[in-house]
Structure 1
Amino acid sequence: MANPSKDKGTKWESAVVAYLREHHNPTAHRNVQMGRLDIGDISGYYLHAVEAKAERTITLADYIRQANREAIHAGAPFGCAMVKRRNAGVADAYVVRDVRTDVRLMNRLRDAEEILQDVAPTVYASFEQRHREAA
């Protein structure tokens, strides 16, 4: 007999992978589960171990604890959870991490942009224009 919760999770993981392949990294993929040394549900989201969650009851603290632990196992600097939003597609789901992790990520991004701006200002200007989006 099939497990409906497992099927729902597998469908969500597959949908996230398809989205990441189209919009971020064509080599994104679902991981084989490894028990207590699990490395996250999905690989291929730059610098992250990803926990994909599609549950009726959302428990953010559990998701973040799991993502951070699995980032360590995966050797990734950051962990996050991609949480399905009810009645919405992947693009409208939530990416969740704790503030500590988010500040580390933003510091890394800031430092990288400052280096690029110092070393190659015209490349930085093009980069800034290409990635600027209205909120």
Structure 2
Amino acid sequence: MANPNKQKGTAWESSIRDYLNRFLGLVDERGAFLDPFHAGNVRRAAQEGARDVGDIHCVPFVLEAKNTATTAVPTWIRQAEVEAVHAGFPFGVVAQKVRGSGTAVGRVHVSVRTWTRMRLALGMPTDEFAALYGWSVSLRGLDSGRWYLTTTLRDFAHLVDDYRRNVPVAGVAHAVR
């Protein structure tokens, strides 16, 4: 892999995958899957070209990983949502690396629509959902299509765990723990 930007992106994707698998209790102390065939394992997706299916599959989420110096969050979110549809997943989110910080403090961005759908699936009031998972709001002008919410990868991992425990997800009865 000669392209240094590609190497940075691949390293960030792998870091997210490994962090989520450890957090969700899907791997042993060496990082090997407890059950390699478990549908809940977090995996890096194969590149699909024009019908890209996102970078990381973490049922029921497709994560689009970004490790760039410049940001274009609303555009990235639209990309993640399209890729989630291509992959057959209900939610597309963006995981952005924070320079000089560990994986857990990476930023996860979602559209207002996705945030609302997740909240409703968990049956939580707005204030409780926002506080429990540390969401902050970014409002970009009057165009609501550019508004989004952000949390840390650590808080997102808690959300994934709670979602899997409380909402029926096809093929994922619960974490392996």
TM-score range, shorter chain: 0.7 to 0.9
Q: Which residue of 2 aligns with 1:33?
A: 47
Q: Which residue of 2 aligns with 1:124?
A: none
CA distance in 2, matches of 1:71, 1:89: 26
Q: Which residue of 2 aligns with 1:103?
A: 116
Q: Runs of 4 or more off by more than 6 Å in structure 1?
A: none
Residues 90 and 31 (structure 1), Cα distance of their counterparts in 2 relative to 1, 3 Å cut: same
Structure 2 counterparts to residues 104-123 of structure 1, below 5 A: 104-110=117-123
How large is the Cα RMSD of the aligned pairs? 1.5
Q: Which residue of 2 aligns with 1:9?
A: 9
Q: Once the two structures are superposed, what CA deviation does each residue of 1:17-75 show, in whole Å capped at 9, x if it has no partner?
A: 110110026321111100111111001x2311110110000110121011000010111
Q: Which sections of structure 2, spanning at least 5 residues, go unmatched?
A: 27-40, 125-161, 163-177
1:62 is paired with a residue of what secondary structure? helix
CA distance in 2, matches of 1:98, 1:54: 19
Q: Which sections of structure 1, spanning at least 5 residues, go unmatched?
A: 112-130
Work out which structure has the larger RCO, using CA pairs closer than 8 Å and 6 or more positions apart in sequence: 2
CA distance in 1, matches of 2:60, 2:51: 18
Aligned residues between the structures: 111
Structure 2 counterparts to residues 15-94 of structure 1, below 5 A: 15-24=15-24, 26=26, 27-43=41-57, 45-94=58-107
Q: Once the two structures are superposed, what CA deviation does each residue of 1:67-109 show, in whole Å capped at 9, x if it has no partner?
A: 0000101111110001101111110011111111100110011
Q: Which residue of 2 aligns with 1:127?
A: none
Output the TM-score relative to the length of structure 2. 0.60
Aligned-pair identity in percent equals: 41
Q: Which residue of 1 aligns with 2:149?
A: none
2:123 is paired with a residue of what secondary structure? helix
Output the TM-score relative to the length of structure 1. 0.77
CA distance in 1, matches of 2:73, 2:85: 19
